[in-house]
Amino acid sequence: MLGQLLKPEYEELIHARNWDALRDAFADLEPPDVAELLETVSPQDSAVVFRLLPRDQAADTFEHLPLDRQTRLIEVMAEGQLGSLLEEMAPDDRTRLLEELPWRVTQRLLNTLSPEERRIAGALLGYPERSAGRYMTPEYVSFREDMTVAEALAHVRRHGKDRETLNVVYVVDRAGCPVLAVRLATLVLADPQARVMDLDHGMLVSIPATAPREDVVAAFEKYDREVLPVTDSRGALVGIITVDDVLDVQAEEATEDIHKLGGMEALEEPYLTADILTMVRKRGTWLALLLVGEMLTATAMAFFEHDIARAVVLTLFIPMIISSGGNSGSQATSLIIRALAVREVELPDWWRVCRREALSGLILGAFLGLIGFVRIAFWPTAAAVYGPHYRQVALVVALSLVGVVMFGTLAGSMLPFLLRRLKLDPATASAPFVATLVDVTGLLIYFTLASVILKGTLL
Amino acid sequence: MLGQLLKPEYEELIHARNWDALRDAFADLEPPDVAELLETVSPQDSAVVFRLLPRDQAADTFEHLPLDRQTRLIEVMAEGQLGSLLEEMAPDDRTRLLEELPWRVTQRLLNTLSPEERRIAGALLGYPERSAGRYMTPEYVSFREDMTVAEALAHVRRHGKDRETLNVVYVVDRAGCPVLAVRLATLVLADPQARVMDLDHGMLVSIPATAPREDVVAAFEKYDREVLPVTDSRGALVGIITVDDVLDVQAEEATEDIHKLGGMEALEEPYLTADILTMVRKRGTWLALLLVGEMLTATAMAFFEHDIARAVVLTLFIPMIISSGGNSGSQATSLIIRALAVREVELPDWWRVCRREALSGLILGAFLGLIGFVRIAFWPTAAAVYGPHYRQVALVVALSLVGVVMFGTLAGSMLPFLLRRLKLDPATASAPFVATLVDVTGLLIYFTLASVILKGTLL
C-alpha cells in the first residue's frame, strides 16, 4: 500500500548492489513492504538483501513471506542466523513454517531453538493440523483472580514485554482455567482501587485447542473480538489466537472452496509461485475423473443411436439442454456450499433447502423451457432448419429444459448436504462434478421425452 | 458457540410466553447469542422478545441481526423506541442499516436521531457505497503531538468512554492529519514521563475514506493491524475501521465471488431468508443469457448437420468433448479470479499467466486426449459400437480434447483479465459463462478436425 511508489527505487538499489544505501533505506519500510520487495527479486538476491535487515525486522519480514520463499531462504541460511531468526519469530507463525517443512528439516530447526522455545514449538506442533492449537501463541498475559486494577496494570507492565497482544489479558483460576477476559482499555479507564472482578467484562468466550479452524473463524465472526483465549481438554488456558491470523485463515478457506468449486484440488500456494507440475496434477486428476464420468454420456447416447440416426435434428439441441442443466446445478451448488461454509445453513436445514430449490428449479425450468420453445417454434425458418415436425421438437426441447433445470437445481443443492452427511467436504460437489452428473441424466430425460412425444412422427 | 446448549430452553420460554423468566435469563447471554435466538423465532415473537432487552443490550443485539430482520423489527417499532435504538447503535453499523433501507425510511430514521448523531450518520452516508468511509466510525481518541505518556493516558481516561476501541489512539498534527498510531499497550508499558513522540510506534498506515472496501481488506491482511485510521481527501483523520468489520467484508466479498463464479448475480442476504423471487430473478437472468449463448451451439451444429447425418457416431462424443473444455475453463477461471481477488496476481501479470496456462492446458489436453483415445480405440467392442473407422474416430476425439482443453484453459484464464481491463468485475467470467463460450468453440474444433481426418472414410 505505502512504499509502493518507492518500489522501483529499491529495486534499482538491489540491481546496483548498493547494499549500504539499501540498508539505510530499509529503516523507512514496514516488514510487510520489505517482504513484498523480497518477493519481486530473485531468490539469490533476496537472500543477500535479507541479511541486511536488522535482527528483529528480519523475523517480522520473514513472517510475511510466502512459504516457498521462506523455505528457499532457510536453505541458503547459516545455522547461527537461522537459529536467531526462529527465536525471534512469533510462535504461531513459526509453527506454521515448521509444519510445512519436511520432518527432518523441522527436527534440525527445532534443535537450533533454545530449550524454552523448543518446548513451545513442540507443544504447538502437538495439536492436529488445522486445529485452533496450531494458530495460537502462548504469548499472553494472565493473572490470578484477586487483584485490584492498579495491581493488574502493574502486572501487565512487568510481564507485558514481547507479548503478541496486551489488548486483552486474562484472569485464571487455581486450575489455570480462564475466568475473565479483561480489556486493557477497561483497566486503563477503571478506578485503580477497584477490584478487577467487579468490573464489567462481558461474557468469556473461549475456543478448545482441538477445534477445527472453521470454528475459530466462526467464533471471531460472531463475537467481534480481536483476540480469543484457547483452552486445552481440561479447560486450562494454553494460548490466544489473534484476529490477524483469523483473517488469513478465512481467506485461505475461501480460496480452497473456490478452487474446489471450480473442479480441482485446492492449490495451497499462490498461483504464480505454485509449482506448475503440482498444479497440473491437482487439475488433471479431477479433469480425468470428470472425463471418465462424461464417458457415460457416450454410453447413454449409444443407447439412443438409432433414434439419433432417424432424427438428426435432435442432436442440435443436446449441448444447449445439458449445459442448461449444468448451469442451474452450478448455481445451486455454489449457493449451498457457501451457505454451509458460513453456517447460514446447517445439515438439518436440508429439507427446507430441498423445498426451496424444488420451487426455484420449477420456476427457472419453466422460464428456460418457454424461451427454448419460442426460439425453435417461432424461428422464421423453423420448418426449413428443423424439419416439418418442428413444433413437436420445440415441445421436446422445452419439456427437457424444465426437467434438466429441475434436476440440476436439486442435484446441485442436495449433493453438498449428502457429502457433509458422509463427513466429506461439501465443496467436493464442484460445479463440473454436478454438471457431469446432470449431463448424463439430461440426455436420458431428453431422449426419453423425444421417444414419447415424437413417436409416430419423427421416431 | 456458547449458549447453544440452552437454546431449546429459551425457545420454550418464548413459546410459553414467560416474559419475566426470559428477561432474567437474558442476563446470561451475549448479544450475538440473543440475535441468534431472535432469528429462530417468528418476526412477531422476535419483536416482543426484543422489547424485553435492556436498552444497551438491545442496540448490540440489533447490530448482530441480519438486515431483513432489522428492517422487520423497525417496521413494528414505536418511534421513541426506534430513536433510542439508533442512538445506541455504533455509527458504522447504523450506516450500513440506513444505506440498505429505502430512502424515505432512511430520512424518517435520520430525523429521530439527535442533531449530533444525525450529523455523524449523514457524514458516513456521504461516502460512496462500499467505500472505506461507510465502514468507519468516528468514535476514536486522538490528541495533539506534544504530550507525555502520562498526559496521553490521562487524555484517554477523559475521552475514552464509549469509544469503539481504545487499543490504538492517534496523534494528529495541526491540520488534523494522523501522525502516529499509538497502541494503548505501548503507553501502559512506557515510562510515564517519556514523550509519546519518542516511543517506538512502527509506521503509520492509513486508508483514504474513498478507497474501495477491497483495499481495506487488503491493508488489514497485509499489515496485521486490528484497527486502521481513515483519512479524507485533505489527509485529515475522519474515522477508524476496526478489524471485526473487515472480517465481515472479507466474508461478504468471498460470498459474492462464489455466487458469481457459480453463474449468478450475488445474493446479498443469507440463503434461507432471501426472498425466493429475488433469488430466482438473480439466477434466471443469467440462466437465460447463458441459454441464449448456448443457442449458438445449435446454430453451429446445424452447419454440420450433413456430416452428422453421415457419421452419427460423431454425436456420441459431443457431450464428453465440450464438457471437458468447460471443466478446464472452470478450473482456470476459478484459479485466476481468486488470485486476482486476493491480489496474488495483478493485471500486468496477464502474460505470465497466459504462458503458464498455455503450458498447463497443453499438458492437461494431451493427458485427457490420451485417455480419450485409449477409451475408444482399445474398447473391446470398439468396431461394433463405433464402426469400422473407430481408430480415426478415436484420433478425432483425442485431438479435439487437446484443442478444447487448451482453449478452455486459455479462455478461462484470460477472460478475467480482459474484464478487469475493461473495469468490469473479473468474477463475471463465471464457470458457466466460460463453459458456454467453450461449448461453441469446442463444437467447431471437433467438427473441423472430423471433416479433415475422416474425409474419404466416414465423411
Test mutation, B189, B330, B407, chain A, max A CBs within 10 A: B330
- CA-to-CA separations, A150 to A146, A242, B22, B166, B291, in angstroms, rounded: 12, 26, 37, 18, 70
- The pLDDT assigned to A1 comes to 38
pLDDT tens by residue, B265-304: 998 888 988 889 999 999 999 999 999 999 999 888 888 8
- Is residue A82 within 8 Å of residue A112, measured between CB atoms? yes
* DSSP reduced 3-state for A181: strand
pLDDT given for residue A4 in this prediction: 44
Core vs surface per residue A120-156: b (16+ CB within 10 A) or e: bbebbbebeebbbbbbbbbbbbbbeeebbbeebbebb
Q: Which residue of B lies nearest to A226 if distances are taken between CA atoms?
A: B226
Tell me if chain A has a CB within 8 Å of the CB of B280.
yes
Instruction: Give the per-residue pLDDT at B286.
Output: 93
d(CA B46, CA B35): 9
Using the predicted structure, report yes or no on whether residue B57 has a pLDDT greater than 60: yes
Name all domains of chain A by residue range, CATH numbers in brackets: 4-127 (1.25.60.10), 142-243 (3.10.580.10), 276-453 (1.10.357.20)
pLDDT tens track for A187-215: 999 999 999 999 888 889 999 999 999 99
The pLDDT profile of chain A, 459 residues, written as one tens digit per residue, is 344 446 777 778 887 888 888 888 777 788 888 888 888 787 777 877 887 887 778 888 888 888 778 877 877 777 677 777 777 888 888 777 777 776 667 767 777 777 777 777 767 777 888 899 888 888 899 998 789 999 999 999 998 887 888 999 999 998 889 999 999 999 999 999 999 999 888 889 999 999 999 999 999 998 989 999 999 888 889 889 999 999 999 999 999 999 999 999 998 888 988 889 999 999 999 999 999 999 999 888 888 888 888 888 889 999 999 999 999 999 999 999 999 999 999 999 999 999 999 999 999 999 999 999 999 888 888 888 788 888 999 999 999 999 999 999 999 999 999 999 999 989 888 889 999 999 999 999 999 999 999 888 877
Residue B407 has pLDDT above 60, yes or no: yes
Q: Which of B334, B353, B437, B447 to mutate to test the interface with A (most CBs of A within 10 A)?
A: B334
What pLDDT sits at residue B119?
Answer: 73
**pLDDT value of position A110:** 72
Query: Which amino acid is residue B125, in one-letter code?
Result: L
Cell numbers for A328, please give them: 442451474
Chain B residues closer than 8 Å to A184 by CB: 166-167, 184-185, 188
What are the φ and ψ backbone dihedral angles of A234, each rounded to 5 degrees?
Answer: -90, 0
Task: Give chain B positions within 8 Å (CB) of A156.
Answer: 188-189
Q: What is the pLDDT of residue A6?
A: 62
What is the mean predicted confidence (pLDDT) over B149-158?
93
Count chain A–chain B contacts defined by CB atoms under 8 A.
391
| Mean pLDDT for the stretch of residues B146-156 | 92
pLDDT on residue A26: 78
pLDDT at B365: 96
Pairing type for strands A237-242 and A227-231 reads antiparallel
| pLDDT confidence tier of residue B370, bands split at 50, 70 and 90 | very high
Q: Fill in the DSSP letter of residue B390.
A: H
Interacting residues of B400 by C-beta distance below 8 A, sequence separation 6+: B317, B321, B442, B445, B446, B449, B450
What chain B residue is nearest to A254 in terms of C-alpha separation? B254
- For residue A296, the SS3 value is helix
| Cβ contacts of A355 on chain B, cutoff 8 Å | none
Partner-chain residue, chosen from B244, B272, B326, that has the shortest CB–CB distance to A435:
B326
Distance from CA of B75 to the nearest CA of A (A): 24
The helix/strand count (H/E) of chain B reads as 22, 6
pLDDT tens digit sequence for B84-136: 777 788 888 877 777 777 666 776 777 777 777 777 777 777 788 889 988 88
- A36: closest CA of chain B, how far (Å): 10
Quote the CA–CA distance of B57 and B37 in Å, as a whole number.
14
Sign of torsion, CA A354 A355 A360 A363?
Answer: positive
For A165, nearest residue in chain B (alpha carbons): B185
Model confidence at B5: pLDDT above 60: no
Given a contact cutoff of 8 angstroms between Cβ atoms, the answer to whether A413 and A336 are in contact is: yes
Residues of B in contact with A338 (CB under 8 A): 254-255, 258-259
- Put simply, the answer to whether B360 touches A283 (Cβ < 8 Å) is yes
Reduced 3-state DSSP string for A189-213? HCCCCCEHHHCCCCCCCCEECCCEH
Angle at B443 between CA B442 and CA B449, to 5 degrees: 90
Task: Pick the residue of A277, A318, A335 with the most B CBs within 10 A to test the interface with B by mutation.
Answer: A335
The three-state secondary structure class of B131 is: strand
Residues near A373 by beta carbon (within 8 Å), at least 6 away in sequence: A394, A395, A397, A398
Decide if A364 and B283 are in contact by the 8 Å CB cutoff. yes
Does the beta carbon of A165 lie under 8 angstroms from any beta carbon of chain B?
A: yes
Q: Do B371 and A291 touch (CB under 8 A)?
A: yes
B138 in contact with A at a CB cutoff of 8 Å? Answer: no
DSSP 3-state of B2: coil
| Rounded distance between C-alpha atoms, residue A448 and residue A431, angstroms | 25
B319 interfaces chain A, CB cutoff of 8 Å? yes
> Which pLDDT value is given to residue A455?
85
- Which has the closest alpha carbon to A11: A39, A47, A30, A32? A39
Round to whole Å and give the CA distance between A89 and A329.
46
- Rounded to whole angstroms, the Cα distance separating A188 from A244 reads 24
Q: Which residues of chain B lie closer than 8 angstroms to A2, CB-CB?
A: 203, 205
Question: Comparing C-alpha atoms, which of B412, B439, B429 is closest to residue B295?
Answer: B439
The helix/strand/coil state of B277 is helix
Highest mean pLDDT among A79-93, A384-398, B35-49, B405-419: B405-419
CA nearest to B304, candidates B113, B136, B448: B448
Virtual torsion, Cα A55, A58, A60, A64, nearest 10 deg = -170
- Report the SS3 class of residue B342: coil
Query: A327 and B435: CB-CB below 8 Å?
Result: yes
- In the chain, the amino acid numbered A161 is K
Cβ of B422 under 8 Å from any chain A Cβ?
no
Q: Is B318 on the interface with A (CB under 8 A)?
A: yes
From the list B406, B359, B176, B270, the residue with the least C-alpha distance to A287 is B406
| CB spacing of A255 vs B334 below 8 angstroms | no
Q: Which of A421, A408, A447 is nearest to A318 (CA)?
A: A447
Q: What three-state secondary structure class fits A172?
A: strand
pLDDT of amino acid B167: 92
Tally the C-alpha atoms within 13 A of residue A294's C-alpha that lie toward its C-beta.
Answer: 29
- Tell whether the model's pLDDT for residue B2 goes beyond 60: no
- Percent of chain B at pLDDT > 90 equals 47
What single DSSP character describes residue B137? B
pLDDT tens digits for range B159-197: 888 788 899 999 999 888 999 999 999 999 999 999 999
CA distance B104 to chain A (A): 30
Q: Answer yes or no: are the C-beta atoms of B226 and B234 closer than 8 Å.
A: no
Mutate to test the interface with B, among A64, A246, A313, A323 (most CBs of B within 10 A): A323
Kindly provide the ipTM of the predicted complex, given to two decimals: 0.83
The three-class DSSP label of residue B179 is strand
pLDDT at A2: 40
Of B32, B276, B432, Cβ closest to residue A223: B32
* A314 contacts on B by Cβ (under 8 Å): none
The confidence score (pLDDT) of residue B4 equals 44
Q: Does B192 touch chain A (CB under 8 A)?
A: no
pLDDT at A53: 82
Q: Which helix H or strand E contains B225, and what residues bound it?
A: none
Question: Between B223, B385, B432, which is nearest A30 by CB?
Answer: B223
The b-or-e profile of B147-175 (16+ CB within 10 A means b, else e) is: bbbeebbebbeeebeebbbbbbbbbbeee
Residue A364 distance to chain B (closest CA, Å): 6
